[in-house]
Amino acid sequence: MPELRVGERRFHVAVDSNLLDALLGQGVSVPYSCRSGSCHACLVRCLHGEPQDSQPEALTQERRADGWRLACQCQIVGDLEVEPFDPQRDGMPAEVLGVDWLSPRVLRLRLLPSRALRYRPGQHLVLWWGDVARPYSLASVPTEDAWLEFHIDCGHAGAFADAARSLVVGDTLRLGELRGGALHYDPDWQARPLWLLAAGTGLAPLFGVLREALRQEHSAAIRLLHVAPEPAEHYLREPLQALAAAHANVQIDLLTVDQLATALSELRIVSRQTLALLCGHRSTLEHFARRLYMAGLPRSQMFADAFVSRDEPA
């Protein structure tokens, strides 16, 4: 049986054991979320030995060359020594610039990293507060905002969301892996109709994408649809309506969950060149995608980023 080593600890595990499960089973603290290689919360560095990696493309060549692997995507095939990501040693410090409630359940967090961070609207970062980690999408635009902005849904229990309620200006968090994700704005899309469909805080990255599209003078129609549990949870109502008032090609639709089925049944694709970006929990995205497909939009023209909780299958 292969020997797995973490610091001074050594234990034997079955061949082909999942690395994340093996570590957790031995009481090693490794954060995780999606188990699909998307969130990058379960980073570990391989010091000796090499696991079998089912998703090597998930990390950059530079990160892989430094020994980093996603524990959820690795199987143990021989003796292996690893060290989990240490936010104090491996993370980038970021100061809390602002923390305020945009709605009864959505907390806005603004951070100033210790050095400039190159990112695109729609990407997401792993945030560390103490030993609690969680990936969150960026709502900011690097060319317009001096800070990194995140919208945290505190309506459901979660270790990071619970901890975030205690944050105050001046606190220091740590930033982990920056992940590309499926959502972005491509300048080549300028003349193509763009639909942005968001559920809950899935609005965060699409708000950044919308602003980036307008910054690049997107000329075709842009339609943003936001679904929330109740009207009070349309937490960006005013800035979205201000963008629509300032740009004739922008349409904003704010819907509650009860209105969703009717609204989706009325969706019509007016151009075969339409592109759709979807973000939110997986079940809602499936409704979005199914209706868009039935309306004539090919799957290849849909880009989706699903929020996956620990209790959901990857």
Q: Structural domain boundaries of the chain?
A: 3-85, 88-179, 187-307
Name the architecture of domain 3-85: Roll (3.10)
Q: Which residues of 115-140 are buried (b: 16+ CB within 10 A; e: fewer)?
A: eebebbbbbbbbbbbeebbbbbbbbb
How much of the chain, in percent, has pLDDT values that exceed 70? 97
Q: Does the domain at residues 187-307 carry the CATH identifier 3.40.50.80?
A: yes
Q: Do domains 88-179 and 187-307 have the same CATH topology?
A: no
User: What is the full per-residue pLDDT of the chain (314 aa) written as tens digits?
Assistant: 999 999 999 999 999 999 999 999 999 989 887 788 877 889 999 999 999 999 999 898 999 999 999 999 999 999 999 999 999 999 999 999 999 999 999 999 999 999 999 999 999 999 999 888 888 999 999 999 999 999 999 988 788 999 999 999 999 999 998 887 789 999 999 999 999 999 999 999 999 999 999 999 999 999 999 999 999 999 999 999 999 999 999 999 999 999 988 988 888 888 999 999 999 988 888 889 999 999 999 999 999 988 765 444 33
Ramachandran class of 294: left when φ > 0, alpha when ψ lies in -120 to 50, beta otherwise: alpha
Q: How many Å separate Cα 73 from the centre of its chain? A: 18
Q: Which CATH superfamily is domain 88-179 in?
A: Translation factors (2.40.30.10)
Q: Are strands 106-113 and 92-101 parallel, antiparallel or unpaired?
A: antiparallel
Output the six-digit token pair for 279: 């973000």
Kindly report the pTM of this predicted structure.
0.88
**DSSP characters for 217-257?**
T--S-EEEEEEESSGGG-TTHHHHHHHHHH-TTEEEEEEEH
